[in-house]
Amino acid sequence: MTLSSRTIQVKKRRTEVLAAGQQEPLVLLHGGGIVEGFDCFAPLTERFAVTAPLMPGYGATELDPPVTGRDQVTENLRDVLDELGIERTVLVGHSLGGWRAAAFAARFPERVSELILAAPFGMDVPEHPLPDMMSMGPAERLAALTNDPSIWEGRLPTGPDPAFEAARAGEGQSIMRFHPGPHDPDLPGILSSISAPTLILWGEDDRTIPAGHADAWHKALPQASVKTFPGAGHLLFHERPDALAAIVEFVESKRA
């Protein structure tokens, strides 16, 4: 079932929300870019009521008023869930969305039943440095994100496209306002307070946030389960449908 778009008002901010499915809530937090789309998550709608709210500056979600820093990012998500009537949910975060999901689960533990972090951003792992994506050319950047170039088919303009460029600029402005920098120095302490059962997923060939970061997350969340995927890059859910199956299996195991 394809996720459909609608807009809601959240503290006077027009906010775009993608959703499909029924049954138990699952909230999906996207990463720093959304060019790749959300179609790959359709299989989850067979088990969950999937909701993917777009951050300020993304899609039709208004950039202003500014959302700055971790606390405001977390409060914005709380306000979105309040407006949607989602009191408790399975929470899935990819990349920068994983950082957001972890912060939310730590601050509002009563609202997260299970936490799934896919190649999450935020830890300082000097032996596995992050690449300088901003210094890369467009083709190099796309190649660093995934081993499957077919993901980009039909999603990138073949010539000048002001609307496409404006959308990417809005995302960039949003990130500049709340991004903590190369890493979040407060993150280890934040992770220590997470009580939700947690699953960490990572592509072993991730060249955006190297899979070596998984060990740092696991040390901070020793009760978490870790599952890696050989040959997969950063856009894990687009590359490996079995990563979606891992989410279902994890939640079902906790229900059992």
**Which amino acid belongs to residue 94?**
H
Residue 86's φ and ψ, nearest 5 degrees, are: -95, 105
Strand arrangement, sheet containing 198-203 = 4-10, 13-20, 48-53, 24-29, 89-94, 112-118, 198-203, 225-229
Q: Report the alpha-carbon distance of residue 7 to residue 5 in Å, rounded.
A: 7
Provide the pLDDT for residue 134.
Answer: 80
Provide the pLDDT for residue 243.
Answer: 98
Distance between start and end Cα atoms, the chain: 26
SS (H, E, C) the chain: CCCEEEEEEECCEEEEEEEECCCEEEEEECCCCCCCCCHHHHHHHHCEEEEEECCCCCCCCCCCCCCCHHHHHHHHHHHHHHHHCCCCEEEEEECHHHHHHHHHHHHCHHHEEEEEEECCCCCCCCCCCCCCHHHCCHHHHHHHHCCCHHHHCCCCCCCCCHHHHHHHHHHHHHHHHHCCCCCCCCHHHHHCCCCCCEEEEEECCCCCCCCCHHHHHHHHCCCCEEEEECCCCCCHHHHCHHHHHHHHHHHHHHHC
Superfamily in which the 4-255 domain is placed by CATH: Alpha/Beta hydrolase fold, catalytic domain (3.40.50.1820)
For residue 160, what are the contacts with CB-CB under 8 A and spacing of at least 6? none
Provide the pLDDT for residue 252.
Answer: 96
Q: Report the alpha-carbon distance of residue 60 to residue 234 in Å, rounded.
A: 25
Q: Report the alpha-carbon distance of residue 75 to residue 60 in Å, rounded.
A: 19
Provide the pLDDT for residue 218.
Answer: 97
Q: Report the alpha-carbon distance of residue 248 to residue 59 in Å, rounded.
A: 27
Sketch the domain layout of the chain as residue ranges: 4-255
Provide the pLDDT for residue 133.
Answer: 85
Mind listing the pLDDT tens digit of every residue in the chain (256 residues)?
A: 899 999 999 999 999 999 999 899 999 999 999 999 999 999 999 999 999 999 999 999 999 999 999 999 999 999 999 999 999 999 999 999 999 999 999 999 999 999 999 999 999 999 999 998 888 888 898 999 998 999 999 999 989 999 999 999 999 999 999 999 999 999 999 999 999 999 999 999 999 999 999 999 999 999 999 999 999 999 999 999 999 999 999 999 998 7
Provide the pLDDT for residue 136.
Answer: 86
Angle between helices 69-84 and 96-107 (to 10 degrees): 80
Angle between helices 69-84 and 162-178 (to 10 degrees): 120
